[in-house]
Amino acid sequence: MDLYYGSFHALKNINISIPEKEITAFIGPSGCGKSTFLKSLNRMNDLVEGCRISGDILLDGVDIYKDKMDVNVLRKRVGMVFQKPNPFPMSIYDNIAYGPRTHGIHNKAQLDEIVERSLRDAAIWDEVKDRLNKSALGMSGGQQQRLCIARALAVEPEVLLMDEPTSALDPISTSKVEELAMELKENYTIIMVTHNMQQAARISDKTAFFLLGELVEMGPTESVFATPVDKRTEDYISGRFG
């Protein structure tokens, strides 16, 4: 696929196959196209004026742009967690129930079950179960980010996109989110943009290195870090880059 912002060619001839139920990390310097590509995968770039995509992006063999896929259905299947935690200004319970309600679930018992399951899956149930009716804005940054992961899980996606999900967090919260990602890959396909190469090395199965809008290389994380094929990848990983 190729992506343009007006006349600017932001992503060039990206060919990539992302395996299911693994963590794929996107690494590379700022402005190289990682987040732009990530946002193409659930059509967040539709919101950007002048953005144009050519080529194919297939989810289970269906083109998410050309095959008239409903954007709401797509974003239910492909959830997203952003760099900064962005809980809604409402209760912890309502944050999680928001998505299921949007998709037509209003039965209280069913919502209770979804809220508990999602918070358990995001490893935060025990911390918040006694204050579900309190505002989510009163939580710590690390808790808010896990709440946002729980909110994404509540609509039962197949794929979870994470755009630098730990960059605003302290080391303890970061390690909780990393542990959580590793547990979640049993049931979800996770794609994570990270500036933290140690993080990519610790938790991802595959790593893709982007540079100036191009996908330079992708492979098993261990081999990309130990024996990169391209000299530019080697320079970036060793810190000689730029």
- Decide if 214 contacts 201 (C-beta within 8 A): no
pLDDT at 69: 87
Digit-coded pLDDT (tens) for 71-86: 989 999 999 999 999 9
pLDDT at 46: 87
pLDDT at 239: 83
**How many C-alpha atoms does 125 have within 13 Å on its Cβ side?**
12
What CA–CA distance (Å, rounded) separates 163 from 13? Answer: 22
In which residue are the tokens 């309502």 written? Answer: 94
Digit-coded pLDDT (tens) for 168-187: 899 999 999 999 999 999 99
pTM for the full model?
0.93
What CA–CA distance (Å, rounded) separates 100 from 107? Answer: 10
Q: pLDDT below 70 — which residues of the chain?
A: 241-242
- Decide if 209 contacts 16 (C-beta within 8 A): no
**Would you give the DSSP letter of residue 148?**
H
What CA–CA distance (Å, rounded) separates 230 from 158? Answer: 32
For 186, the token pair is 């049993």
What CA–CA distance (Å, rounded) separates 213 from 221? Answer: 20
pLDDT at 67: 76
pLDDT at 241: 63
Can you list the domains of the chain with their CATH numbers?
2-87+158-238 (3.40.50.300)
CA angle centred on 168, ends 206 and 207, rounded to 5°:
10
